[in-house]
């Protein structure tokens, strides 16, 4: 049996007044997709990691930056979320998981 463990890093608004509310209330935005494929004995078989360029929360929340070690500049070369999600999709040519 093999398992995939998924880890999503999210940025949040820098203050409650900067929360995106239209067209929906957006409490956070994915800025990194990470995953690891492990065997049932937890041996690592493969990994996946991609930065996602933010659209709504381009300023890094200080707490998020402190936790992840990422700065806004680190995400400038990130992929758009649809492209990052497509790379992670099973069967995509660029993902090895």
Give residue-wise pLDDT tens across range 35-94: 999 999 999 999 999 999 999 999 999 999 999 999 999 999 999 999 999 998 876 555
Cβ atoms of 48 and 6 within 8 Å: the answer is no
Cβ atoms of 9 and 78 within 8 Å: the answer is no
For the record, the structure tokens of 42 come out as 């937890």
* Residue 60 to residue 21: CA distance in whole angstroms: 18
> What is the predicted pLDDT for the residue at 23?
87
* Residue 10 to residue 7: CA distance in whole angstroms: 10
* Confidence class for position 96, pLDDT limits 50, 70, 90: low
Average pLDDT over residues 20-26: 92
Measure Cα distances from 38 to 21, 43, 86 in Å.
38, 5, 21
* Residue 83 to residue 64: CA distance in whole angstroms: 23
Query: Is pLDDT at 32 greater than 90 in this prediction?
Result: yes
């Amino acid at each position: 049996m093999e398992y995939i463990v998924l880890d999503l890093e999210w940025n949040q608004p820098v203050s409650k007044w900067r929360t995106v509310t239209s067209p929906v209330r957006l409490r956070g935005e994915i800025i990194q997709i990470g995953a690891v494929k492990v065997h049932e004995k937890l041996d690592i078989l493969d990994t996946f990691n991609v930065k996602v360029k933010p659209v709504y929360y381009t300023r890094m929340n200080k707490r998020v930056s402190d936790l992840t070690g990422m700065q806004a500049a680190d995400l400038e070369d990130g992929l758009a979320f649809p492209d990052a999600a497509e790379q992670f999709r099973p069967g995509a040519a660029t993902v090895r998981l």
